[in-house]
Structure 1
Amino acid sequence: MRLIAIFLTALLILVQYPLWLGKGGWLRVWDMDQQVHAAHDKVDELKVRNAKLDSEVHDLKEGTGAVEERARTELGMIKKDEIFIQILDPNGNPADAPAPPNAALTAIEKTIAVAVPSEKNKKSEP
């Protein structure tokens, strides 16, 4: 009787091995399920990023607002007859900005451009 119990226990273990540790076992399925969830999360992040890039490309193709914004922030350009005003903190750095590697770029980002009528427009007004 003891020999039959040992044989049945060994047989039970042999049957359980593929279920838990085999090629299509529970652990492998769980691991693949985790990989699928990670891939879905990554795809969702990339979809959001692509939507933002698509929107930016559309703005650059269709409108002038995005081009003007980039020209102001990245190139430091201002419109004709505008005054460049930069707000500095007490240390002489642009307000609310860390010390950047390119101080000119941050200074441009923290500026306000104010339109001022040109001399021609002043003379033509009554």
Structure 2
Amino acid sequence: MKYLSQFMLLALAVAVLLGLQYQYWLGGNGRVERNQLLTQIEAQKRLNGNQISANDLLRTDVHDLKNGLEAVEEHARLDLGLIKPNETFVQVSTAPTTQSR
């Protein structure tokens, strides 16, 4: 009888230990889920870094447009095709040439 109660106590301790290990590794908010979340966080940090650099570029462009005429003139020439008085507009085509007879 003495050995049976000790065996039951040992079996209960092992069952509790296994249950706790299951919770730690595979349960909700367990180790596996934590590693997946860390991977997602790193991916999001990379995306955020890309967006921060794009925002910095746009912020610099806005600052140049507000404070300098060179940026306004550059945008007018590139985006709208505007030219100054007494200038000659020359457009170079990069399309391949074909000869037909």
TM-score (norm 2): 0.73
What is the match of residue 97 of structure 2? 91
DSSP 3-state at the match of 1:14: helix
Relative to its length, the structure with more helix (as a share) is 2
| Aligned partner of 1:32 among 23, 37, 45 | 37
- Say if 2:16 is the partner of 1:14: no
Determine which structure has greater relative contact order: mean sequence separation of CA pairs < 8 Å that are 6+ residues apart, divided by chain length.
Answer: 1
The one-letter amino acid of 1:85's match is V
Question: In 2, distance between residues paired with 1:75 and 1:15?
Answer: 68
Relative to its length, the structure with more strand (as a share) is 1
TM-score (norm 1): 0.60
Cα distance, 1:40 vs structure 2:
1.3
Ranges of 4+ aligned residues in structure 1 off by more than 3 Å: 7-12
Fraction of identical pairs, as percent: 36
Gap regions ≥5 residues in structure 2: none
Gap regions ≥5 residues in structure 1: 93-126
Question: In 2, distance between residues paired with 1:47 and 1:40?
Answer: 10
How many residue pairs get aligned? The number is 90
What is the match of residue 54 of structure 1? 59
Question: In 1, distance between residues paired with 2:82 and 2:70?
Answer: 14
- Say if 2:93 is the partner of 1:63: no
Cα distance, 1:58 vs structure 2:
0.4
